[in-house]
A and B are shown apart, each in its own frame.
Chain A
């Protein structure tokens, strides 16, 4: 079953195409990722999905409902973790959850029950009655995730869920997101942490300048665009000449040479024996290789 269907979805800000005709669909129960450098249009796409930004073209359906026509019905059934934390600073952690529940019309006793459960789930029970300003960045993020779960959403939208968090906090959040998937929740997330996408996403798209460049599972994309393994060595002119002579295809990234290889031993052997390189690294290809290959190495913003 398709939870989200987008067809030629488009968002213009004046003359700037933030989202430039993208088509994708998200299936029930999967974790679907949007990857892309800063300014690619990920946040804009998320905002259109959760009905706070109006599309300027194309078609977008969530739960089969048009986001332009049925925003209330859609928002009732989804949870949102925005890119920027926005807890309500006038209230405690617990009150943040119960007050948010009121916006959904959830009765008080039910809201309090869910709030206690979610504080437990997100390991925030100790901070139950703490004012918001005493929470660390990781705790605030977890609170925002707990808040997004108050209405027991069928679809959870997460815009860079682990941005700026330490490894412990990231791992905790990943574990919780996988748990949510296991109980049937559909998740859509954006990230520019490629390891995060590789670990979590069942399928993902890589976006740049408002367009989708590729779509697939992390393993498929790596296989298709980066090969099995990567052989790396330091670059210098003689070495480059030698590789050319041996007709090995390579790419130069700053001071490093990379060769995509399905048979890395052979390449490594040539580099050592014929080109006189001693320090060679052989590693598995990752999503990061795919990402850099497709979106280039120039800095964004």
Chain B
């Protein structure tokens, strides 16, 4: 149990990551659709539909306001769902984890590989959305390319949280609870479609203290707006620390679930 399982991680975790990448590439046609289609749908319905009713948000056109949130949401969904439903299928139905731990890989390698892959998938989705958003003229280049490197720690955070739920869920259906009770509210109340500033003060503190997406949207919006302020440092450190925390919790919960 040295270093809460971190010392049991080896380069083998990259082989797990690579397995998932290979599976993703094999079915790329299905996998590459969401990051292209989703932003278009959201922009048309919300950006230009709802946006027609709203003049602007603090002087920013509504489609431009929601663009960084769309990237954040896509990272959240792709990483979280990868490390909940998809990881659960690999762990429970396909017995892929069992096959892996019969090789020199440790459980920690397997879980680390899963989380790294979830983060990577989130990053791929963010990267694929950027040209679409740029074509709609709602983000600026080249500063917005910074969305890509930040998608990785953001994806890592959601993957690690996802793995924690996967480790404790009694079955695949029960994963709907965190999806509905945690992810969906966050999707709505994290400064995504309206500024956090219009919430009561206490809720603002709650959002930046406890909601991963609120912190991530804040950073991504600063990136696309090209306006950097000291609070971003707080958001970034928060994301990194909480990611590490859930990573360690996830490793240990999974170890408890899988070792007998």
Query: Measuring CB to CB, which residues of chain A are less than 8 angstroms from any residue of chain B?
Result: 13, 50, 52-54, 71-72, 75-76, 80, 82, 84, 86-91, 95, 99-100, 102-105, 147, 151
Contact = CB atoms under 8 A, between A and B. Distances in A.
Contacts of B105: 103
Given A76-B104, A105-B104, A86 B99 contact: yes
B260 A99 contact: no
B26 interface: yes
B204 interface: no
Contacts of B26: 90-91
B237 to A, nearest CB: 34
Nearest to B15: A102
A198 to B, nearest CB: 28
B106 A71 contact: yes
A103 B12 contact: yes
B19 A99 contact: yes
Nearest to A84: B95
A50 B260 contact: no
Contact of B99 (A13, A95, A100): A100
Contacts, number: 62
A86 B104 contact: no
A299 B56 CA distance: 76
18 contacts: A50-B102, A75-B103, A76-B104, A80-B102, A84-B95, A86-B95, A88-B19, A89-B94, A95-B22, A99-B19, A99-B22, A100-B103, A102-B15, A102-B18, A102-B19, A103-B15, A103-B104, A105-B104
Contact of B103 (A53, A54, A104): A104
A52 B102 contact: yes
A105 B16 CA distance: 11
Interface in B114-172: none
* Nearest 10 pairs of A and B residues by beta carbon: A86-B95, A103-B103, A80-B102, A102-B15, A90-B23, A72-B104, A75-B104, A76-B104, A86-B99, A103-B15
B37 interface: no
A212 to B, nearest CB: 22
B259 interface: yes
A53 B260 CA distance: 5
A88 B100 CA distance: 10
Nearest to A74: B104
Nearest to B8: A72
A87 B104 CA distance: 17
Contacts of B19: 88, 99, 102
Assign chain B's interface to a size class.
20 to 34
Interface in B208-260: 259-260
Interface in B14-72: 15-16, 18-19, 22-23, 26
Q: Which label, helix, strand, loop or mixed, suits the secondary structure of the A interface? A: loop
A54 B22 contact: no
A68 to B, nearest CB: 12
B96 interface: yes
B102 A13 contact: no
A90 B95 CA distance: 12
B105 to A, nearest CB: 5
Nearest to B11: A105
A96 to B, nearest CB: 9
A13 B104 CA distance: 25
Contacts of A89: 94
Given A13-B260, A53-B260, A103 B100 contact: yes
Contacts of B100: 103
Residue of A13, A84, A87, A90 contacting most chain B CB atoms (<10 Å):
A90
Contact of B102 (A82, A90, A91): A82
Contacts of B101: 52
B99 A88 contact: yes
A54 B98 contact: no
Contacts of A76: 104
B157 to A, nearest CB: 26
Nearest to A53: B260
B95 A54 contact: no
Nearest to A102: B15
Residue of B11, B16, B94 contacting most chain A CB atoms (<10 Å):
B94
Given A53-B259, A103-B16, 20 more contacts: A52-B101, A54-B259, A71-B106, A75-B102, A75-B103, A75-B104, A76-B104, A80-B102, A82-B99, A84-B95, A86-B99, A87-B99, A90-B23, A90-B94, A91-B23, A99-B22, A102-B18, A102-B19, A103-B15, A105-B12
Contacts of A95: 22
A137 to B, nearest CB: 16
B162 to A, nearest CB: 19
A75 B105 CA distance: 8
Nearest to A11: B260
